[in-house]
């Protein structure tokens, strides 16, 4: 037990050292520059107040028009406009791109149509199944309704017979208690 406690303490100690070292590595450079700048500002303020502003007499930067006057008039769209071979090659590439785009759209359309057809077949199958269930339910409801009507008719008939027997018994002297 004592060796496991020692190793646990050693692990905790290593973790604490690692955490402190990590914190110093992360925040150390920022603290160093902060303190270094603070000491430099105090030293510079005690030696001289500040240096006078610099006076520059620099010429303005040259514009593109002054460097190469003909370069401004060129445009990228004019590049290769008069070259028939380049025009033919560019036209081929354009046609190839359009053809590829049309093929991609056709493939996407075919996939979409296939998906819609599968969905439609599934919907028709489910609708047919629900229709069959509805027909079964309607048939069962009609059967129940017919049975209810027959039982009501039988109950009316039984009540008439019971009423007739009750009248006969009263006629012969039977009374309710």
Helix/strand/coil for 62: coil
Q: Are 80 and 86 in contact (CB under 8 A)?
A: yes
Measure CA 11 to chain center. Answer: 45
Confidence check: pLDDT of 88 > 80: no
Helix/strand/coil for 61: coil
Helix/strand/coil for 82: coil
Q: What is the pLDDT of residue 95?
A: 79
Lowest mean pLDDT among 27-36, 74-83, 113-122, 146-155: 74-83
From 108, 148, 131, select the one nearest 116 (Cα to Cα): 108
Measure CA 25 to chain center. Answer: 40
Instruction: Please list the helix, strand and coil fractions of the chain in percent, rounded to the nearest 5, in that order.
Output: 80, 0, 20
DSSP string, 103-155: HHHHHHHHHHHHHHHHHHHHHHHHHHHHHHHHHHHHHHHHHHHHHHHHHHHHH
Task: For the chain, give every domain's residue range.
Answer: 114-172
Q: What is the pLDDT of residue 94?
A: 77
Confidence check: pLDDT of 121 > 90: yes
Sign (positive/negative) of CA torsion 125, 126, 130, 133?
positive
Confidence check: pLDDT of 64 > 70: no
Confidence check: pLDDT of 75 > 70: no
Q: Are 80 and 87 in contact (CB under 8 A)?
A: yes
Residue found by looking up tokens 């001289």 in the block? 48
Measure CA 168 to chain center. Answer: 84
Average pLDDT over residues 77-87: 69
pLDDT in tens, 1-29: 567 777 788 888 888 999 998 888 888 88
């Amino acid at each position: 037990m004592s060796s496991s406690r020692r190793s646990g303490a050693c692990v905790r100690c290593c973790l604490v050292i690692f955490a402190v070292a990590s914190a110093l590595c992360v925040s150390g450079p920022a603290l160093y520059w902060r303190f270094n700048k603070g000491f430099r500002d105090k030293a510079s303020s005690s030696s001289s107040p500040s240096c006078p502003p610099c006076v520059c007499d620099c010429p303005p930067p040259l514009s593109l028009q002054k460097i190469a006057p003909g370069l401004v008039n060129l445009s990228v769209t004019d590049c290769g406009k008069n070259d028939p071979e380049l025009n033919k090659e560019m036209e081929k590439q354009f046609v190839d791109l359009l053809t590829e785009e049309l093929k991609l759209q056709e493939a996407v359309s075919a996939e979409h149509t296939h998906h819609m057809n599968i969905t439609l077949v599934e919907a028709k199958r489910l609708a047919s199944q629900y229709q069959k269930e509805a027909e079964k339910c309607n048939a069962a409801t009609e059967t129940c309704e017919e049975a209810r009507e027959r039982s009501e008719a039988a109950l009316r008939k039984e009540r008439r017979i019971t009423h007739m027997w009750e009248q006969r018994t009263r006629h012969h002297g039977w009374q309710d208690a």
